[in-house]
Amino acid sequence: MAKERWATRLGLVLAMAGNAVGLGNFLRFPAQVAANGGGAFMIPYIVALLVMGLPLIWVEWAMGRFGGQHGHHSAPGIMQSMGRQKFWKYFGVFGLWTNLMVAAYYLYIESWCFIYAFYSYLGGFIHEAPGDFFERMLGAEKYSIWAISYWGMGAFFVCIALNIWILSRGLARGIEVVAKIGMPLLIGFAIILAVRGLFITQGKFEFQLTEEKVKELQTEGVSPRVLDRLAELRGQSLTLAELREKLGGALPEVKADADRQFNLVTKATVVAGTDRHAERDAIEGLNYVWKPQYDKLWSPSLWLAAAGQIFFTLSIGLGSIHCYASYLREMDDITLTGSAAAWTNEFCEVILGGTILIPIAVAYMGMAGVEKAGFGMAFTSLPTLFNHWGAFAPFAGFLWFGLLFFAAITSSLAMGQPIMAFFQDEFGLSRPRSALLFGMLLLPLAGAVAVTHSSTFFEEFDFWAGTFALVVFAFGEAILFAWVFGMNRGWTEMMKGAELRVPGIFFYILKYVTPIFLGLILVGSVFQPKGTVPDKNPETGEVRKDPQTGEMLTKDLGWEAYVQALVKGETLPAWEWHPGGMIGMLLHKDLDAALERSLKDPQTDKAKAIQFNREQKIVRYVDRAMMVAVYVFFCVLVGIAWRKRREKVWVG
């Protein structure tokens, strides 16, 4: 079988960058920055990029190229060729398992982007609220463990089929072509949206209504009370929020017609050149994202969040970078090419990712509206906001979801390739057959994700495979490269054909700092505590109270609570597992916290909520058993493959 290669160097850079640029760049990054110290987040972010991100990128590229020279293009073989001990090939199974598990739900999100892009283009969100459409697409119902939507599932399977088809065409004619088309389009779409978004100017309203305009409003059916109020405002200049406040007394009288009448008033009074729907200038959204909170800089949670973001954004610990790099020749450069791919990802994240979602949301929803900015907002709010752009709205929706779709597909293809490569290398299957086998393995997992409530298969795969396993795998590979393979050999391997001289300090960073940094992240996420402390007013030192119930308020600071208590010599907070930490997740603390919250709501059907919580836990045991079974299945396959190799050597 002729050895597969990348057709061009540009194709490789774009495919690697496409692997790294994903939904997280546009949805997760801005929310993380805003929630974790604003501009101050960038200090630990850049530090984590330099001491962990870039070194690990070079390590993964070097490991991949080394494995490729020994005939391996997936993590089990690559790690075994470096580690020699049997253990490493079974540890390398993470590089297959994680990809399959993540692909099972990632492709689902990819299919949402696909559906949303076309529905936006057809003007669907002009008539239907995106939140309702989202529920319809998932088929989710309250208190039901099942979430079945046949057309939603149909689109999901179309996306899976599309990925399999592209993968079956191979590196040069499949993945590389998609990257060469998808990446420039993605960047182009993002630039158009960012520029259009940043030009949103706060709505200004002036009240110089002529007789003609008043008559026009009368004939449109605006109530006399509202018109009287407008007359009182003559000569004033107001913002949208002020106008809403001033008309507040008059509008409730017209009740059902209030929105339409308010709309007519804004149309008649808006100052030319301002956006009558905008609460604020979009630039204020940039302020919201970037304003530094220096006091947070010493918080361990901020450093953990920044390291986590670097980790996810560069697609480290998946095994896909190893796979792509394994198709290089022995003396092909990896330091410059790897850095170019990593910095392209950073460009898409820091410059483009931070400039679209939050500025647009702040402009139309105000500061309060973006506090929960992130994943859900992209699907449930943004299409409505685009509607304020008139005739451009359907196209803007198409651009936004189109860019998310390209970001997703270039990443999902990178998840399929290692699994295909495993079947090709170790079992001699052809490319189309291994692509089909990948699809067959994916189907039961993807099917389970598609028919169940998101708190079960979807969230569990995301946490255990998409978050936790990445850190475990990266920690293992850092140890393997620096301490088992040996740092001297590793450095020599990394520098073969290098076009970018990596400064010697990185030798020591790779040997000591990166493993320690990863070890800390691993321990921090395994034993993550809730760290509940009283919510004190920083000026008076008094504990804040709930204005309605009078209860003392608390806040969860995680590790920060313990560091603060140690520094100040205070009593340590009582230990409780964080719902988002590894042990907390294992004990279903997140489900219990959600149940507790829902039971506080008087509208909750308590019996149904408790029953739903019980069912969620049962399904979680099933999905966990499934995850373990898939890992064991891959271990068995690895065992068989290596036995076959040994037999081949003896017979030969």
Partner 1 sequence: MHQDALLFMLGSWTVVGLAAFYCFYRLMTSSRRLDD
Smallest distance, partner 1 to C-beta of residue 527, A: 32
User: Of 4 and 615, which has the nearer Cβ to partner 1?
Assistant: 4
Cα gap 469→40, rounded to integer Å: 28
Please state at what angle helix 130-138 crosses helix 94-121, rounded to 10 degrees: 130
Question: What are the residue ranges of helices labelled H in 295-430?
Answer: 300-313, 320-325, 335-346, 357-369, 375-380, 382-386, 393-427
Q: CB within 8 A of 46, min separation 6: which ones?
A: none
Smallest distance, partner 1 to C-beta of residue 40, A: 7
Among 4, 5, 46, 451, binds partner 1 (CB under 8 A): 46
String of contacts with partner 1 for each residue 325-354, x by CB under 8 A? --------x--xx-xx--xx-xx--xx--x
**Residue 177, interface with partner 1 (CB under 8 A)?**
no
String of contacts with partner 1 for each residue 605-634, x by CB under 8 A? ------------------------------
Task: Kindly state the DSSP code that residue 523 receives in the 8-state scheme.
Answer: H
Cα gap 354→412, rounded to integer Å: 23
String of contacts with partner 1 for each residue 499-528, x by CB under 8 A? xx----------------------------
Residue type, 486: G
Tokens, residue 213:
């305009």
Pairing between strand 532-534 and 554-556? antiparallel
Among 4, 5, 39, 565, binds partner 1 (CB under 8 A): 39
Cα gap 567→570, rounded to integer Å: 8
**Residue 36, interface with partner 1 (CB under 8 A)?**
no
Q: CB within 8 A of 339, min separation 6: which ones?
A: 54, 57, 500
Among 21, 23, 34, 40, binds partner 1 (CB under 8 A): 40
Among 213, 291, 536, 606, binds partner 1 (CB under 8 A): 291
Segment lying near partner 1 (by CB under 8 A), choices 104-112, 280-288, 298-306, 315-323? 280-288
Task: Kindly state the DSSP code that residue 295 receives in the 8-state scheme.
Answer: G
User: Of 333 and 462, which has the nearer Cβ to partner 1?
Assistant: 333
Among 38, 529, 558, 584, binds partner 1 (CB under 8 A): 38
User: Of 358 and 445, which has the nearer Cβ to partner 1?
Assistant: 358
Smallest distance, partner 1 to C-beta of residue 366, A: 17
Question: What are the residue ranges of helices labelled H in 233-356?
Answer: 240-246, 258-269, 283-290, 300-313, 320-325, 335-346
String of contacts with partner 1 for each residue 3-32, x by CB under 8 A? -----xxx--x-------------------
User: Of 53 and 439, which has the nearer Cβ to partner 1?
Assistant: 53
Cα gap 517→38, rounded to integer Å: 23
User: Of 86 and 173, which has the nearer Cβ to partner 1?
Assistant: 173
Smallest distance, partner 1 to C-beta of residue 162, A: 27
**Residue 279, interface with partner 1 (CB under 8 A)?**
no
User: Of 152 and 308, which has the nearer Cβ to partner 1?
Assistant: 308
In terms of Cβ atoms closer than 10 Å to its own Cβ (0-12, 13-18, 19+), residue 602 is exposed
Segment lying near partner 1 (by CB under 8 A), choices 203-211, 289-297, 509-517, 568-576? 289-297
Tokens, residue 314:
């560069």
User: Of 343 and 395, which has the nearer Cβ to partner 1?
Assistant: 343
Residues 576/530, Cβ–Cβ less than 8 Å: yes
Q: CB within 8 A of 586, min separation 6: which ones?
A: none
Cα gap 51→29, rounded to integer Å: 19
Smallest distance, partner 1 to C-beta of residue 521, A: 22
At residue 146, what are phi and psi to the nearest 5 degrees?
A: -95, 145
Smallest distance, partner 1 to C-beta of residue 1, A: 24
User: Of 20 and 167, which has the nearer Cβ to partner 1?
Assistant: 20
**What is the residue whose two structure tokens read 């603390």?**
589
Smallest distance, partner 1 to C-beta of residue 77, A: 27
Cα gap 468→308, rounded to integer Å: 10
Smallest distance, partner 1 to C-beta of residue 32, A: 13
Among 69, 144, 223, 287, binds partner 1 (CB under 8 A): 287
* Binding footprint of partner 1, residue count (CB under 8 A): 31
Residues 349-388 close enough to bind partner 1 by CB under 8 A: 350-351, 354
User: Of 102 and 340, which has the nearer Cβ to partner 1?
Assistant: 340
Other Cβ atoms within 10 Å of 180 Cβ, number: 17
Q: CB within 8 A of 652, min separation 6: which ones?
A: none
Cα gap 69→474, rounded to integer Å: 22
Smallest distance, partner 1 to C-beta of residue 308, A: 18
Task: Kindly state the DSSP code that residue 554 receives in the 8-state scheme.
Answer: E
User: Of 9 and 617, which has the nearer Cβ to partner 1?
Assistant: 9
**Residue 462, interface with partner 1 (CB under 8 A)?**
no
**Residue 459, interface with partner 1 (CB under 8 A)?**
no
User: Of 165 and 294, which has the nearer Cβ to partner 1?
Assistant: 294
**Residue 101, interface with partner 1 (CB under 8 A)?**
no
User: Of 10 and 495, which has the nearer Cβ to partner 1?
Assistant: 10
Tokens, residue 441:
């393995």
Residue type, 83: G
User: Of 293 and 454, which has the nearer Cβ to partner 1?
Assistant: 293
Pairing between strand 237-239 and 532-534? unpaired
**Residue 35, interface with partner 1 (CB under 8 A)?**
no
Distances in Å between the Cα of 483 and the Cα atoms of 17, 327, 347, 479 are 28, 25, 33, 5
Residues 22/277, Cβ–Cβ less than 8 Å: no
Tell me which residues touch partner 1 (CB under 8 A). Answer: 8-10, 13, 38-40, 42, 46, 283-284, 286-287, 289-292, 333, 336-337, 339-340, 343-344, 346-347, 350-351, 354, 499-500
